[in-house]
Amino acid sequence: MKVLLVGSGAREHALAWHLRRSGCVQSLYTAPGNAGTERLGTNLPIPSSDLEGLVQWAKAHRPDWVVVGPEAPLCLGLADRMTEEVGVPVLGPSKKAALLEGSKAATKELLLQEGIPTARGGFAESLPEAMRLSRKIGWPQVIKADGLAAGKGVFVVENQEQAEQVLESLLVERKLGEAGQRVVIEEFLVGEELSAFVFLYEHQMVFLGTARDYKRVGEGNRGPNTGGMGAYSPVGWATGEVIEILREKIFDPVHRALRKQGISYKGILYGGLLWNEKGPHVLEFNVRLGDPEAQVLVPLLPLSLLDLWRQAQDYELSSWSTLPSSNRVAVGVVVAARGYPEAPILGEPIEGLCPDVEVGEGKLLFLGGVRREADRGFLTCAGRVVTAVGVAQDQARARAQAYELAAQVRFPSAFFRRDIG
């Protein structure tokens, strides 16, 4: 089987490793990939946002399956073009379905309409309308740019003055461009955050697992938001009973709402949730696996995404199932380059890097912002450089293994959070 994988982070390295391990993927092409995916297949010099380039390559090389890691190409309509113009199936939803991630306002509207629990709030397009909504909600509150903003579009504000500043910068000054031409404003919720992942294929849905990620750059959740500095899976308190509530209150209703809109979703749906005394609330949806959540989720899957896909294509799955527990825990620590997320130092040589994923017993190293040059070896090329993952029977052991591995990867500006897991 020939697979085209789209993306270039440690998530995609984890997906590449996962797919190769399934035994059925003889040729793997990653666009554009990194030094990790290069070891597992062939990297293609096509950026993940170059839809035309990807479609042309697929027309010429006829892959059997396309797996999309990041959200941007999905929001631009990559899945639609691959299915319509090339006739190749895609793990990743259509452009219309990807609005679940691509438009926070559209999602807020859907959540409110369907009675799916979420923070009290709404959306607005003009400054006066937004200020009226903001005053109604109270303090603190959260203001979110509607569109994709790579983690930079969410603001927690404490009072009216701060709210006005943020709303003006988004709606009037257009600091985030089109992404900020609409805003969602909602109450600030306090509780436990939880990421939950399902695999969807038309009417079939499989619960893949839970994870907790660490979004802030600094220990103790301080500093700016990032793509994610670490994660662990599963979340211990999210037992069968909790998962049943997630199904009833969130995943079944959103799945029904998608089908009502005529959307046949084929891909992964990731709920960014917050649990408080009233149960779960949706903070956001993503239409793909998270990075670094994929790096801790994928090693624990008892069967491959390819197996799931095949079963789903044969309509062997039901409208809800869960996977048997692996009875293991994975902790992932992101080693980043100083300056991340604003301006990471790049181009540094990396020592102690093992290009194989399985570095030792229960230790997995997924490469992210790493490229390889024939004469200079491995160099950093993005803010999040590697994810060091420990897998063990218990969290303490998994955590220790992840940190042992993280400490082995050395480059001058390397840093990582010491409080993951």
Instruction: Determine the Cα–Cα distance for residues 37 and 258; give it in Å rounded to an integer.
Output: 33
Shortest distance in whole angstroms from residue 289 CB to ligand GLY: 7
Cβ(52)–Cβ(73) under 8 Å? no
Residues 173-202 that bind ligand AMP (CB under 6 A): 186, 188-189, 193
- List CB contacts of 113: < 8 A, sequence separation 6 or more: 257
Shortest distance in whole angstroms from residue 392 CB to ligand GLY: 22
Interface residue with ligand AMP among 284, 291, 293, 348 (CB under 6 A) is 284
Phi, psi of 112 (to 5 degrees): -65, -45
Mask for 227-246, x = binds ligand GLY (CB under 6 A): xx------------------
189 binds, among ligand AMP, ligand GLY, none (CB under 5 to 8 A by kind): ligand AMP
Q: In the structure encoding, which two tokens stand for residue 372, read together?
A: 């390889």
284 binds, among ligand GLY, ligand AMP, none (CB under 5 to 8 A by kind): ligand AMP
Interface residue with ligand GLY among 80, 146, 186, 213 (CB under 6 A) is 213
Instruction: Determine the Cα–Cα distance for residues 267 and 202; give it in Å rounded to an integer.
Output: 9
Q: In the structure encoding, which two tokens stand for residue 333, read together?
A: 């620590």
Whichever of 153 and 228 has its CB closer to ligand GLY, that residue is 228
Cα 171 to Cα 75, 142, 183, 232, 350: the distances in Å are: 22, 15, 8, 36, 42
Interface residue with ligand GLY among 141, 286, 304, 408 (CB under 6 A) is 286
Shortest distance in whole angstroms from residue 154 CB to ligand AMP: 4
Shortest distance in whole angstroms from residue 305 CB to ligand GLY: 17
Using the contact rule CB under 6 A, the part of the chain among 22-30, 289-297, 382-390, 413-421 near ligand GLY is 289-297
Q: In the structure encoding, which two tokens stand for residue 12, read together?
A: 């995609």
The residue type of 367 is L
Shortest distance in whole angstroms from residue 235 CB to ligand AMP: 14
Interface residue with ligand AMP among 1, 24, 154, 400 (CB under 6 A) is 154
Q: Is 244 helix (H, G, I), strand (E, B) or coil?
A: helix
Cβ(276)–Cβ(190) under 8 Å? yes
Cβ(142)–Cβ(118) under 8 Å? no
348 binds, among ligand AMP, ligand GLY, none (CB under 5 to 8 A by kind): none
SS3 per-residue string spanning 367-409:
ECCEEEECCCEEEECCCEEEEEEEEECCHHHHHHHHHHHHHHC
Mask for 103-132, x = binds ligand AMP (CB under 6 A): ----------------x-------------
Q: In the structure encoding, which two tokens stand for residue 191, read together?
A: 């509780």
Whichever of 73 and 290 has its CB closer to ligand GLY, that residue is 290
Q: Does 7 bind ligand GLY (CB under 6 A)?
A: no
Q: Does 229 bind ligand AMP (CB under 6 A)?
A: no
Shortest distance in whole angstroms from residue 336 CB to ligand GLY: 13
Q: Is the peptide bond before 45 cis (omega within 30 degrees of 0)?
A: no
Residues 237-276 that bind ligand AMP (CB under 6 A): 272
Instruction: Determine the Cα–Cα distance for residues 421 and 408; give it in Å rounded to an integer.
Output: 19
Helices H / strands E in the chain, number of each: 14, 24
- Name the site residues for ligand AMP (rule: CB under 6 A): 119, 142, 144, 154, 186, 188-189, 193, 215, 272, 283-284
